[in-house]
């Protein structure tokens, strides 16, 4: 039997790389990678080529019919495109509908949150979702909560600092009791491999869940595993709301509204810790299928397991090329 | 046991009136009506008051907390607000969330169609849907396809002309084979009564279906029941698309973009007959529960039954106050 043919967009990124690993590990897929013409000669792309992955080269601005011929015969398209480029998925949606692609996973892979003005990045994703529905393209929308890798505080000894990308994980927002969905980023592809082979998930939203923890629970876990007495600095819910309002005002004033990391961080904090949008309960309300019910036999990497590794110095710093940090620091200036 | 308390918005309109009838017929509801201050003394409102329905008087522009006190204790809110006023539902959504309303039905009650630029009225409804999701308010979104009452052609003898509201039902669009969901408007409230007592429909989309018929099938039915030889004038799919494009251009040119009935009619034709958005298959794709599966014992009024009545002169002309026709004729000028 012919293998399930997958086209992956964004394999050189954090999310795409994890998805690729999981699909390869699964072994049941013929994987092609969509690469932009400007990226075919980058070291990352060269490394992927050396592994034997065929490239579909497109900048996603070509005529739809031309793109259709390139993706003909693909069963499943998975997009892990950079969030700033999410809207360029739309041409791929149109091409996929014409090419008869059997399932399309747009670049979701984020926290659970409804559209409607809470997080700009989520609203952009909704435009892509709607384009999929208009095209009547079979889909699965997959969210994964927050990565363990983004969701732990520093410890007083400093031994976790090496693995912390953003500041702001050192405080507890609101009362610290908002439950949030967590997954280990290394499990992304394992979840995706299961989801795209599963007819139950066609035309559905799925949320991958390893753990659902509050910040207070996370602090207790880190305290217990590290043996260190943790600081507990609280930022009230009201302060989260006004921080966000101030960040939005500043963004408007500075003209730097488009990718403003203060606004993004503020929106995330509001959604995650004050509104508790990213809870299993809210995911259920929003109609998501729960990976724990779909795949009871799959044991994802738990938060504690990740923390043990991180405390042993084995966690990997994300976005190691420093681009995201640069963006963040530029945004603060 | 206390009765299920319902607040209905728009009871003096076509959709709201049908919903009210069905709820009354069911008998298990305590029904209040939301009436605008400017409408409390209209003959229609007076008639409803005489029937003993308590009024909640609000223009939906008051402070949310004030509205909360008015709707406290209501179990289910059903909005059949005029489509031009759909966005004023949002304050009601916020109030309902604060008041602990157990279920909210916004003013959907239309054809199945995804958001994303196909029909402006649908996209406006999506803004309300998103406000509901942001408020984490329990909901049911109910669509009903098109009314039988809007979905039949005139016969050569002219004996159906009395019941036809809009021109344009005399032609077959595309190849006439797009399947479309139909319900009798008199069944609206019967469907709604069942849906709001049904825990399976909480936080779900439901489509009420009496029949799913193509225009060719409708022509055959009318021919058979009337005994008249029907005209068959076809407007090609391409022509539907260009009619819509022309209507949009004309609307922009005239500055009359907001409620432009040519654009609305063109969008409906495109969605209904060319895209076949309003088919049971598409409803399933979009995640709707199907009333035929939910309520197999309920026998809605079928299209044939309606047509027999209409041919006997027993159909009622809709929007008898002439407002919609006036709007339509004004729009054409």
In a domain, B95, yes or no: yes
Specify the pLDDT at position B332.
45
Please determine, for residue B302, whether its predicted confidence score (pLDDT) is greater than 80.
Answer: yes
Model pLDDT for residues A39-69, shown as the tens digit of each residue: 999 999 999 999 999 999 999 999 999 999 9
Q: What CATH number corresponds to the domain at position A106?
A: 3.40.50.720
Specify the pLDDT at position A151.
94
Does the beta-carbon distance from A131 to B115 stay under 8 Å?
no
A113 close to A122: Cβ distance less than 8 angstroms: yes
Q: State the catalytic residue, choosing from B70, B125, B136, B316.
A: B125
Residues B27 and B47 in one domain: yes
Does the beta-carbon distance from B133 to A116 stay under 8 Å?
yes
With tokens 């009798």, the residue in question is: B184
In a domain, A238, yes or no: yes
Which residue in chain A is spatially nearest to B118 when comparing CA positions?
Answer: A134
Which B positions 104-133 lie with beta carbon below 8 A of chain A?
114-118, 127, 130-131, 133
Specify the pLDDT at position A170.
87
Specify the pLDDT at position B2.
84
Residues A77 and A156 in one domain: no
In a domain, B258, yes or no: yes
Specify the pLDDT at position B254.
87
Does the beta-carbon distance from A134 to B118 stay under 8 Å?
yes
Residues A228 and A194 in one domain: no
Q: Report percent pLDDT > 90 for chain A.
A: 86
Of B117, B130, B204, the CB nearest to A134: B117
ipTM score of the complex?
0.93
Q: Report the C-alpha gap between B22 and B35 in whole angstroms.
A: 19
- For residue A215, CA distances in Å to A171, A192, A263, A308 come to 9, 27, 21, 17
Q: Report percent pLDDT > 70 for chain A.
A: 94
Model pLDDT for residues B14-65, shown as the tens digit of each residue: 999 999 999 999 999 999 999 999 999 999 999 999 999 999 999 999 999 9
Specify the pLDDT at position A332.
45
First to last CA, chain B: 56
Domain boundary among A192, A207, A222: A207
Specify the pLDDT at position B169.
78
In Å, how far is B89's CA from the nearest CA of chain A?
15
- B125 catalytic? Reply is yes
Please determine, for residue B330, whether its predicted confidence score (pLDDT) is greater than 60.
Answer: no
Specify the pLDDT at position A206.
98
Mapping DSSP onto H, E and C, the string for chain B reads CCCEEEEEECCCCHHHHHHHHHHHHHCCEEEEEEECHHHCCCHHHHHHHHCCCCEEECCCCCCHHHHHHHHCCCCEEEECCCHHHHHHHHHHHHHHHHHCCCEEECCCCCCCCCCCCCCHHHHHHHHHHHHHHHCCCCEEEEECCEEHHHCCCCCCCCCCHHHCCCCCCCEEECCCCCCEEEECHHHHHHHHHHHHCCHHHCCEEEECCCEEECHHHHHHHHHHHHCCCCCCEEECHHHHHHHHHHHHHHHHHHCCCCCCHHHHHHHHHHHHHHCCCCCHHHHHHCCEEEHHHHCCCCCCCCHHHHHHHHHCCCCCCCCCCCHHHHHHHHHHC
Specify the pLDDT at position A317.
76
In a domain, B239, yes or no: yes
Please determine, for residue B327, whether its predicted confidence score (pLDDT) is greater than 60.
Answer: no
State the average pLDDT for chain A.
93
Q: What CATH number corresponds to the domain at position A177?
A: 3.90.25.10
Say if B202 is an interface residue toward chain A (CB within 8 Å): no
Please determine, for residue A2, whether its predicted confidence score (pLDDT) is greater than 90.
Answer: no
Residues A19 and A135 in one domain: yes
Specify the pLDDT at position B290.
98
In a domain, B284, yes or no: no
Nearest Cα to Cα of residue A307 among A179, A103, A155: A155
Residues B164 and B38 in one domain: no
Specify the pLDDT at position B318.
76
User: B180-183 and B211-213: which strand pairing?
Assistant: antiparallel
Model pLDDT for residues B110-127, shown as the tens digit of each residue: 999 999 999 999 999 999
Model pLDDT for residues B221-263, shown as the tens digit of each residue: 999 999 999 989 999 999 999 999 999 999 999 887 766 888 9
Please report residues of A whose CB lies closer than 8 A to that of B116.
127, 130-131, 133-134
Residues A308 and A267 in one domain: yes
A61 close to A91: Cβ distance less than 8 angstroms: yes
Q: Compute the residue count for chain B.
A: 333
Q: Structural domain of residue B268, as residue ranges? A: 147-183+211-279+297-332
B273 close to B243: Cβ distance less than 8 angstroms: no
Q: Taking the CB of residue B255, how many other CB atoms lie within 10 A of it?
A: 7
What mean pLDDT is predicted for residues B160-171? 84
Residues A71 and A100 in one domain: yes
Q: Which residues of B277-297 are buried (b: 16+ CB within 10 A; e: fewer)?
A: bbbbebbebbebbebeebbee
Total domains in the fold of chain A: 2
In a domain, B286, yes or no: no
Nearest Cα to Cα of residue A119 among A252, A275, A282: A275
Please report residues of B whose CB lies closer than 8 A to that of A133.
114-116, 286
Please determine, for residue B105, whether its predicted confidence score (pLDDT) is greater than 90.
Answer: yes
What mean pLDDT is predicted for residues A98-120? 97
A306 close to A315: Cβ distance less than 8 angstroms: yes
What mean pLDDT is predicted for residues A24-48? 96
Please determine, for residue A216, whether its predicted confidence score (pLDDT) is greater than 60.
Answer: yes
Residues B239 and B222 in one domain: yes
Specify the pLDDT at position B258.
67
Specify the pLDDT at position A169.
78
Residues B302 and B320 in one domain: yes
Q: Report the C-alpha gap between B311 and A230 in whole angstroms.
A: 80
Of B115, B118, B203, the CB nearest to A285: B203
Model pLDDT for residues A250-298, shown as the tens digit of each residue: 999 988 776 688 899 899 999 999 999 999 999 999 999 999 999 999 9
Residues A236 and A262 in one domain: yes
Q: Report the C-alpha gap between B110 and A255 in whole angstroms.
A: 41
Does the beta-carbon distance from A285 to B114 stay under 8 Å?
no
Please determine, for residue A321, whether its predicted confidence score (pLDDT) is greater than 70.
Answer: no
Q: Report the C-alpha gap between A150 and A210 in whole angstroms.
A: 14
In a domain, B90, yes or no: yes
B206 close to B38: Cβ distance less than 8 angstroms: no
B98, two tokens: 């604060």
Please determine, for residue B128, whether its predicted confidence score (pLDDT) is greater than 70.
Answer: yes
Residues A18 and A139 in one domain: yes
Specify the pLDDT at position B255.
81
What mean pLDDT is predicted for residues B294-314? 97
Specify the pLDDT at position B239.
97
Q: Is A298 helix (H, G, I), strand (E, B) or coil?
A: coil
B60 close to B92: Cβ distance less than 8 angstroms: yes
Specify the pLDDT at position A42.
94
Specify the pLDDT at position A93.
98
Interface size between A and B, measured as CB pairs under 8 A:
41
Specify the pLDDT at position A318.
76
State the average pLDDT for chain B.
93
Q: Report the C-alpha gap between A140 and A201 in whole angstroms.
A: 6
B55 close to B32: Cβ distance less than 8 angstroms: yes
Residues B151 and B198 in one domain: no
Which residues have a Cβ under 8 Å from the Cβ of A66 and sit 6 or more positions away? none
What mean pLDDT is predicted for residues B167-180? 90
In a domain, A285, yes or no: no
Q: Report the C-alpha gap between B43 and B40 in whole angstroms.
A: 9
């Amino acid at each position: 039997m012919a293998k399930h043919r997958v086209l992956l967009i964004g394999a050189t990124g954090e999310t795409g790389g994890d998805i690729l690993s999981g699909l390869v590990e699964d072994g049941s897929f013929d994987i092609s990678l969509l690469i932009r013409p400007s990226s075919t000669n980058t070291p990352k792309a060269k490394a992927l080529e050396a592994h034997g992955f065929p490239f579909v080269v497109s900048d996603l601005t070509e005529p739809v019919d031309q793109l259709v011929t390139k993706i003909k015969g693909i069963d499943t398209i998975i997009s892990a495109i950079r969030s700033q480029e999410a809207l360029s998925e739309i041409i791929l949606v149109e091409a996929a509908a014409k090419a008869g692609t059997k399932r399309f996973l747009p670049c979701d892979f984020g926290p659970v949150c409804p559209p409607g003005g809470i997080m700009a990045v989520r609203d952009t994703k909704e435009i892509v979702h709607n384009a999929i529905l208009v095209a009547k393209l079979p889909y699965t929308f997959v969210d994964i909560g927050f990565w363990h890798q983004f969701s732990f505080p520093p410890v007083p000894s400093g031994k976790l600092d090496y693995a912390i990308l953003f500041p702001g994980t050192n405080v507890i927002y609101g009362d610290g009791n908002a439950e949030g969905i967590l997954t280990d980023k290394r499990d992304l592809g394992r979840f995706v491999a299961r989801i795209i082979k599963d007819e139950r998930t066609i035309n559905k939203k799925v949320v991958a869940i390893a753990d659902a923890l509050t910040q207070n629970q996370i602090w207790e876990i880190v305290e217990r595993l590290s043996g260190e007495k943790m600081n507990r600095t609280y930022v009230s819910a009201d302060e989260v709301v006004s921080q966000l309002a101030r960040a939005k005002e500043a963004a408007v004033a500075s003209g730097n509204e488009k990718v403003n990391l203060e606004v993004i961080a503020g929106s995330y904090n509001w959604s995650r810790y004050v509104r508790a949008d990213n809870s299993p309960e809210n995911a259920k309300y929003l109609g998501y299928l729960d990976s724990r019910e779909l795949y009871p036999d799959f044991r994802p990497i738990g938060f504690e397991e990740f923390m043990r590794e991180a405390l042993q110095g084995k966690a990997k710093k994300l976005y190691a090329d420093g681009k995201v940090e640069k963006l963040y620091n530029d945004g603060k200036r």
